[in-house]
Homo-oligomer: A and B are copies of this chain.
Amino acid sequence: MSDETNRRTLPATSWAVLGLLSFGEELSGYDLKKWSDRSLRFFYWSPSFSQIYSELKRLEKAGYASSRQVAQETGTRDKRVYRITAEGMAAVREWAREAPVDPPVLKHGPMLRLWLGHLLEPTQMRELLIRQQEFAEDMRLRAAADAERAKDEPAWAYPALTLKWAERYHASERDLAAAMLDDIEALAAERGEHP
């Protein structure tokens, strides 16, 4: 409630949304969702629609963003577009520079399964890893495509760099799956399970 509580204490998700706005464009909640699917998604997950809308309200209440109603051309339903304010700009900048960086968090579903290998058949483990390889390669391609798209705009130079990072990250994920596949084979062989 106090200024202290409202400002600067925002969760990382809010800052991510405000960050999306910090590139200067006026965007609707729906636009924001699409942007985040093509950028944040590759290294910081993508918030759901509902989350984006509540963040926007919070940001507006904190004075970090302003909105206006826009009547659409074709007669579609009106939409509300948001723009970052000067305070908002100052706040993200300060957050980006000063706030403690929280460490990367990984929740790797496939690894959680493999960690329970004693409950699985070797075939299932292989299956899991092959899927994982494909998934990683797919993500890599998407990140690469979006990186390509970003590289022309000078304003997107840093987003482009992180997309490049994401591309390599997902390439590595793919290779790690392949390496583990080999490890599993080796373990199976060692236990005399070669079919």
Contacts and interface: CB of A to CB of B under 8 A. Distances in A.
Contact of A44 (B40, B112, B131): B112
A19 B103 CA distance: 25
Contacts of A165: 111, 114, 176, 179-180, 183
A101 interface: yes
**What is the predominant secondary structure among interface residues of chain A facing chain B?**
helix
A15 B91 CA distance: 40
Interface residues of A, number: 60
Interface in A39-56: 39-40, 43-45
Contacts of A120: 96-97
Interface string A1-33: 000000000001001100100110000000000
Interface stretch (A57-65, A67-75, A151-159): A151-159
A80 interface: no
Interface of A: 12, 15-16, 19, 22-23, 39-40, 43-45, 92-93, 96-97, 101-121, 124, 128, 131-132, 135, 155, 157-159, 161-162, 164-166, 168-169, 172-173, 176, 179-180, 183-184, 187
Given A106-B104, A108-B44, A115 B39 contact: yes
Nearest to A104: B108
Contacts of A113: 96, 101
Q: Which of A43, A92, A115, A117 has the most CB of B within 10 A?
A: A115
Nearest to A156: B118
